[in-house]
Amino acid sequence: MAAAGTSKFLTPGMKPEAVVAGHLATIVIPLEPLPASRPRVTKWGTYIAKPYKQWIDAALKVVPQGNLWLDKNLPLLVVTTAVCTKARTSKLFFPRMDVDNTAKAALDIITKIGGYWADDNQIVHLVTTKRFVRPDEPAHTSLSIYSL
């Protein structure tokens, strides 16, 4: 328990290890990262863009259900890393996609699969990065879950 007047949660300049009670799980989604897209709205209804829908379907097949079943009141720290394939003609030093949308896609899949947390609203700290693959490394997204 934190002392009176101090926060148990991450504050600017603090390292995540300073508040983490324990590593609970690491999940790897062995697919090329794809940022979550906004739902499209037409006069006929709402739909998800086809590439993102295909990514969701593929992820649901390759990521196993968890066995944590954490209490809905347990605050979590989640660290995500999107490791993307660099286009041969790209001159960029990092992937172009928005880092928050790559994290959202991964979090949505883990929530949908179940067994890791009750709801992603339990995540009170999110650390997310993106980078290109290193030699002999496949594209993927990894998530590490820690209890606070």
- pLDDT band at residue 100 under the 50/70/90 scheme: very high
Distances (CA, A) of 124 to 56, 88, 93: 24, 37, 30
Q: Which is nearest to 16 in space by CA: 120, 102, 118, 126?
A: 126
What are residue 116's phi and psi, to 5 degrees?
Answer: -110, -45
- Which residues face 132 on adjacent strands? 84
Query: What's the pLDDT tens digit per position in 6-51?
Result: 445 555 555 555 555 688 889 999 999 998 888 788 888 887 889 8
Region 107-112: mean pLDDT is 93
Residue 5 has pLDDT above 50, yes or no: no
Going along the chain from its start, the domains and CATH numbers come out as 19-39+46-147 (3.30.1330.70)
Global confidence as pTM: 0.79
Q: Please provide the DSSP assignment of the chain as one string.
A: -PPTT--SS--TT--GGGT--EEEEEEEE-S---PPPPPEEETTEEE--HHHHHHHHHHHHHSPPPS----TT--EEEEEEEEEPPPTT---SS-SS-HHHHHHHHHHHHHHH-SS-S-GGGEEEEEEEEEEPPTT---EEEEEEEE-
Residue 58 has pLDDT above 80, yes or no: yes
